[in-house]
Structure 1
Amino acid sequence: MIQSLALAAITLLLLAGAIELWWGSALRLQQRKSLESIEQRLVTHQPAERRMQPPPLPGQRKRALLQSADGLLMRADLPPNRAIYAVIACFGLVLALLAWWRISSVLAMPLVLGLYSALVWLWLRRRIEKQQQKLLAQLPDFLDGMIRMTSVGNSLPMAFQTTTKSVAMPLRSLLDRTLSSMHAGADLDQALALATRPYHLEELSLLHAVLGIGMRVGGRSDHILQRMGDFMRDHAHARAELKAITSETRMSAWVLALLPVAVATFMTLVDPVFFKPMFYEPLGHKFLLVALVLELTGGLLLYRLAKSL
């Protein structure tokens, strides 16, 4: 019964993830097509020898998952090293063993690990949102500095290098990685695209596309950068107003979704005798499975409600 319950819980988690991916696939497809069209226009202006890219090595494919994890830590403003992974894994293992010792049931381990994984994901997501807000808040001022440098006759790469010296963290780290790639021989747009790839921000993707077009086609790049800066400020102001208006609804959704899980976990750890029939009796297993299904369904619906605002 325990094995079937664990298998059913894993199946429900995978089903919830599949539904979320399916609902967001249309928006992601539209964004990917838009960025691909911009990249295609850039590629048409590149020489033939630059369009040819070497095939990926076998070792690079094996490290794809690790690179994705490193990119997640970079978006969360954490150092991408193995110590972070070890600390997160060890802390989760200690919590699972503590729950096993306290409740005296193996079934408590996957439940505690699932709750711990959800809390770690929420913590990382909160850090990622704060990091993105800081980056987007610094971008308009950085563009204003580039506009002042290009208006007096400097090229885009020279304006980029000069303006980077007056930028604070966390945008400074991203620009420093771009400069390192430029010193290694890459063009400005290619170096910026490589440095901003882990952050998954449309504004940064649009910036490196505009810089690439300005370097290869020419024109008044300062006018385009000025419009981009004004648009980013207006967009940030509108997003802040929308977030303030919908904050009460989103907070209510988080409280309603996490409160049953938090209360059940606290009561189980404080008084395990009270919940022992849920882990040892067949009827308790059924109740536990029903509660898990209801919690996942309600959490998914509340998540969709909060995300649609």
Structure 2
Amino acid sequence: MDIDHKILVYFILSINKIIITMGLVSDRQRNETMDFIKILGYNIRYIKIDQVKSNETIILLHGIGASAERWSELVPFLYNCNIIIPDIIGFGYSEKPRIEYNIDLFVKFLDELFLKLEIKNPIIMGSSFGGQLILEYYFRHKDFFKKMILVSPAGTQERPTLALRQYTYSCLYPTRENTERAFKMMSHFNHTVKDSMIKDFINRMKQPNAKHSFVSTLLALRKNSDLQDNLREIKIPTLVIWGKEDNTIPVENIEYFRGIPFVKTCIMSDCGHVPFVEKPLEFYKIVKEFIDS
């Protein structure tokens, strides 16, 4: 990341920090900070929300091409735990080095992130690519997570859908028309896509190396064909949530997780690829019941 770009990112995030803090932290029991930390030698942005009276930590991992802000609709409901939301290396407002992005890189990224932020035995939630990354990490560190929550996790689909192709196209050519079309295809038809979300996505995808990190990650995910075979190795409480009208990674993929003793599955009606954005309160109630059980 060159100096001028770093200054610009810090300026944008200083403004965003005020907005996020005003919107998400409304009581004195919560303290929200946004900062950068060196992971694998690169500047990684993360948001941390501390709940004064809680010893429970939940990590939120966004999907490919997304950022920490993707969880903004859900975070206000998660008021009984400490929350950490990183921008995964190569995405969001984290640094985007021009390197090969593969599963080993992302696992090392999480290793160092957890170590430097002193995270132990967390509950972890991931959407799409974030869900697949959680599973990849779990298969290498089976005693680390307390519970896993996977939202329409990637890694099980045989071929890209039309919605995923449109999303990829919008990442490579981030115009307003392309982006709005992609977000609408990924959502239930009744859901209104926020203008601020579209603008933020376009801004992020125009950052240096943003397209490189997206394509490199997408290729790495396609090369991994062992995930489905490993699912029966899951031995910790795991919740898999899918939107019934998911056109990006179809809900039929939830069948790979059914019948596994430690896995609970749930399908949310009138939701597309990101049910925590479309129906955050209903989503939270499902998650809370799982966490409390």
Q: TM-score, normalised by structure 1?
A: 0.26
Higher relative contact order (CA 8 A, sep 6+): 1
Larger radius of gyration: 1
Q: TM-score, normalised by structure 2?
A: 0.27
The structure richer in strand per residue is 2
